[in-house]
A and B are shown apart, each in its own frame.
Chain A
């Protein structure tokens, strides 16, 4: 019956969906990608007059581009590592222990995402100004760290909760102390799901602009912030286009990594499947 339906009716929802996706994602990506490899492209031509790597050479020759790449990478790595150190034990505690105000605390992580972020950031910026954290590396780390809390707690909590308690007890039974059980049993069992959260955290931090700009400017310039300023200030589109193509790299890396996790089947297992 399902087949008959598909044959008879045109799937307008599906077509609409595909169309919207094409217009808002694939088309802009194509345009930006084309711009990045264009030397000359004047109106009204539909395709560029001259392709080339001229602007890649010019962009990659700039010192501020390289320093922003370094800044972005070190920020993302630092934030992700710190987030792991803070959030994973906290998530374990949320998943396995009962303590006062547990639920209140648990849902408080939502609060940061439930209100307009920019207003919140301005308020935090005010505080940071007094603490001399404005325009410092660690100021940006702190603000981006807050941004990762939600999914670095919520996703691992779900992952830890789906680990079979009997497996942990069996490890205690053969002589493992609680920390060893966490390290050798719980963490590997929850591993694939947690890896997904870490990945999200890294990519999310890499692309984060509001906090990075508000707290970090003008000293700390991440790659996305630099790209925005290029787009805003440069009459030449190609600079921004090249940077945005560079910015695709972490996304692709993340997608490839995610694919490996998913195809190994451990992803579903991590979600308790």
Chain B
């Protein structure tokens, strides 16, 4: 349906640089997640695409049309706000019909479109309800429907489910994914939850301080984080600072062979890739605690200087607190100056 192109967009609020020279191209029908910690500029970027903020610099085009300075009412975008922002003085039907009425559609067509979109979001027959009579999840569904009913070229969602409980959030994001696939609508989804991004996205854009840290498919972002920041932000990750000398990474007794130039480095290894073996003698580290989750167990490990690591194991019973162990990372990466300088081959496995 539509392609969105963002070129070198910048937004400065008096002293803060909210979005800093940001570029991104979203393909037709693609669902891109903007992922980043609070304050990384996700909302500001989305609001610039929706027309609610004017960029300080840069260019935004939709299907080749420059919309950088077009007001929101004339943009082919639809926005779903975190706070649903439903109009509480109108019932559900009127919330959905408002935009259609502004387009002077015939009454019968409005009714038919509203009913269709209510069915799409699973709220058939809710038209006459007051918005305040709906649950949080239903309100967000109506907010989504309010955007969808106008068939926008670009759908923008700003942490739409952040205020809902975990269970509902998971269900709604699956519904959003289904609807998005069905309508093949180009979508930008802002979230600060990495699980949400991993579950939803065709592509994840990890943002930090207003710029892109990494933009890749979810599996690539997960397996090959471009920087320690991404590594730490996506999934659970052990990050250990140390030095590389003669192709060996060392952090107080914890050594890992790799191939990289000498110097400072940060080693990144996921808990599921940190293999542990019982040590005879003192070993590299000591087990602090074992937590059994049924399907797997997490072993908290203390390095001699107190740095804490996590390893995932299949059986809790094989390990006890206080036990001396050796660490054998099977898949890992090393970073220096915010770029990867080494990735173990296992990473791709």
The 8 Å CB contact of A167, one of B52, B74, B85, is: B85
* Docked complex Cα distance between A170 and B87 (Å): 9
The 8 Å CB contact of B87, one of A167, A175, A191, is: A167
In the complex, the answer to whether A269 meets B88 with C-beta atoms within 8 Å is yes
Is B182 in contact with chain A by the CB < 8 A criterion?
A: no
For A187, the closest partner residue in chain B by CB is: B89
Distance to closest chain B CB from A193 (angstroms): 13
Distance to closest chain B CB from A170 (angstroms): 4
* Docked complex Cα distance between A187 and B86 (Å): 15
B residues less than 8 Å from A173 (CB atoms): 50-51, 72-73, 77-79, 147
B residues less than 8 Å from A166 (CB atoms): 81, 83, 85
* Docked complex Cα distance between A189 and B87 (Å): 8
Residue of A164, A171, A174, A269 with most chain B CB atoms under a 10 A cut-off:
A174
Interface residue tally on B, bucketed by range: 20 to 34
Quick one: CB contact mask for B117-160 with A, threshold 8 Å, 1 for yes? 00000000000000000000000000100110010000000000
A residues less than 8 Å from B235 (CB atoms): none
B residues less than 8 Å from A176 (CB atoms): 73, 98-99, 102
Is B103 in contact with chain A by the CB < 8 A criterion?
A: yes
In the complex, the answer to whether A175 meets B99 with C-beta atoms within 8 Å is yes
* Contact A170 to B81, CB < 8 A, known contacts A188-B89, A269-B88: yes
* Contact A170 to B146, CB < 8 A, known contacts A164-B83, A175-B102, A176-B73: yes
In the complex, the answer to whether A170 meets B85 with C-beta atoms within 8 Å is yes
* Docked complex Cα distance between A170 and B142 (Å): 12
In the complex, the answer to whether A174 meets B50 with C-beta atoms within 8 Å is no
A residues less than 8 Å from B78 (CB atoms): 173-174
Chain A positions 146-195 with a Cβ under 8 Å from a chain B Cβ: 164, 166-167, 169-177, 180, 184-185, 188-189, 191
Q: Which residues of B contact A (CB under 8 A)?
A: 50-52, 71-74, 77-79, 81, 83, 85-89, 98-99, 102-103, 143, 146-147, 150
Q: Which residues of A contact B (CB under 8 A)?
A: 164, 166-167, 169-177, 180, 184-185, 188-189, 191, 269
Nearest first, the 10 closest Cβ-Cβ pairs linking A and B are A174-B99, A166-B85, A172-B72, A170-B85, A188-B89, A175-B102, A166-B81, A173-B79, A175-B73, A167-B85
Given contacts A170-B146, A172-B52, A175-B103, 17 further A-B contacts (CB under 8 A): A164-B85, A167-B85, A169-B50, A170-B85, A170-B86, A170-B143, A172-B51, A172-B71, A173-B51, A173-B73, A173-B79, A174-B78, A174-B98, A175-B73, A176-B102, A180-B102, A269-B88
Task: List, sorted by A's number, 11 A–B pairs whose CB atoms are closer than 8 Å.
Answer: A166-B81, A167-B85, A169-B81, A169-B85, A170-B87, A170-B146, A173-B77, A174-B73, A174-B147, A180-B102, A189-B88
